[in-house]
Amino acid sequence: MKNYTDLELLRLSKAKRTGHKIGVTFRSIPGKFKRLGIKIGLFFKNLVFGIGHWFRDIALTFVRGDWKTKVSYFVMGFGNVSRKQIFRGILFFFFEVIFILYMALFGGRYLSKLYILGTNEKTIVDGVELPGDNSFNILLYGVLTLFFIVAFIYTWNLNIKQNRINEQILKDQKQLDTGKDDLRALIDKNFHKTLLALPTIGIIIFTVLPIFFMILVAFTDYEASHSTFFGWVGFDNFGQLFNWSNSGGSKFSMTFGQILLWTLIWAFFATFTNYFIGMLIAMLINKKGIKLKKLWRTVLVFSIAIPQFISLLFVSKMFTTDGIINSLFHTHIDFWNNQWSARICVIIINLWIGVPYLMLVVTGILMNIPKDLYESANIDGANGFQQYTKITLPYMLFITGPYLLTSFTGNMNNFNVIYLLTGGGPETQAYYQNAGRTDLLITWLFKLAVNKGEYDFAAVVGILVFIVVAGLSLIIYNIIPSTKNEEEFQ
């Protein structure tokens, strides 16, 4: 690919400049992966050195610290209490007691079986049911225990650090903070920590922990047929996804490929048809001479106000063989049981949902485009189409670039429209587990988990959905003009 100077690049047509930028982006991908690999290597290198420095600091603090600090290594909070920081000391000691009781009475036994997820399956002997190991509980509570251990190590390290700091403060003949000072700080200089404490804990428990659990499920054979006793299978599930031999794995691979392709096609049309049609309607309503502008905007907004659960189910019934559409035109078209008609219909119906929202967004942006740009274009003899391609569209793409990116990734995971309209159908035996021709990766994942009970494969698909969406987001982010500076746009 030819390298252009800035001046040569400005002389190119807009289409050639865009093509050049896309080419440069794809050409830079190997280099970016190389730099990513270097960064990952440096991360692990720094991690190893960081752990080494941490152990050294812990050892030096123990050797150089007084007896109160040494006791705090085993009885958390002892140093604080002995130095009259009662409130902090009680909190540290209380946390340690809870951790020890949890590990002794509950977490320890689950953690000890986490490596194998249980050894004894539930059996029936002489009509008596003998309980066995519950692999699901072992995995769930084992992961929870690992998180609790990490929290304990962090708190224990904080306890040691506090003792080291307190020793230095006393050596400098300064006064330590009391319990009242700690409480006052929680609503003053440390108020941000007070506000973020509960949200952070909530994110860890309800977001990070389930994601980590889902990733681990992808490496097991957890299915509804044996939901209480299963084991680790390593990368076997991923191997079946990329297995193109003449076996069941081949069907799973083919299904993933076909649904991924349709997901990308759907996301492209769902994003850009809404974008350009919504922009066109906003421009028409904003045009001088159009009356009742507020009325037209209000009518279009109604589709946003009505819950999709109601509107999409109603529209789905309209397109059945005995629905309003066939009755109105005296036809008998089976819209939802034909692959192509179903796909076309969901794209068209999605306009009804997305266009009004785009119209509102674009309306605000259109009002901020400098009028003197259009006046200058009129003086130079530019027609309406030229003004749109040279002024309106570049300005819109620059402002709404991040929105287009989030809209594209959002449409890849647009569960409501597909599931409420077609349920992912029409189903076909050519796909794994009779997946549907309009299924997106997200709806297929839902069916695998909820309808078929194949939680292991659903977890694999969930991981790959993240990889695909994250990868495309990074590529698109480096192409859109919004990531460049405003001077370049002007």
pLDDT in tens, 308-343: 788 888 888 888 888 888 888 888 888 899 899 999
Closest among 174, 153, 152 to 83, alpha carbons compared: 174
Query: Using an 8 Å Cβ cutoff, are 81 and 90 in contact?
Result: yes
- CA–CA distance from 176 to each of 66, 71, 80, 88 (Å)? 16, 19, 10, 12
pLDDT in tens, 251-310: 888 888 899 999 999 999 999 999 999 899 888 888 877 788 788 888 888 877 888 788
pLDDT in tens, 46-86: 989 999 999 999 999 899 888 999 999 999 999 989 988 88
Residue-level pLDDT at 74: 94
pLDDT for 17 beyond 80 = no
Q: How many residues does the chain have?
A: 490
pLDDT for 488 beyond 60 = no
Burial class (CB in 10 A: 0-12, 13-18, 19+), 75: middle
Mean pLDDT of the chain: 85
Residue-level pLDDT at 264: 93
Q: Tell me the domain boundaries of the chain.
A: 65-234, 248-489
Closest among 407, 406, 400, 380 to 489, alpha carbons compared: 400
Query: Using an 8 Å Cβ cutoff, are 430 and 258 in contact?
Result: no
Q: How confident is the model at residue 443 (pLDDT cuts 50, 70, 90)?
A: very high
**For residues 160 and 155, what is the distance between their CA atoms, to the nearest angstrom?**
9
Residue-level pLDDT at 124: 63
Query: Using an 8 Å Cβ cutoff, are 139 and 213 in contact?
Result: yes
pLDDT for 487 beyond 60 = no
CATH of range 248-489; options 2.40.50.1020, 3.40.50.170, 1.10.3720.10, 1.10.10.10? 1.10.3720.10
Residue-level pLDDT at 296: 82
Residue-level pLDDT at 437: 92
**For residues 421 and 352, what is the distance between their CA atoms, to the nearest angstrom?**
13
Kindly tell me the sign of the dihedral angle through the C-alpha atoms of 155, 137, 213, 203: negative
Which pTM was predicted?
A: 0.79
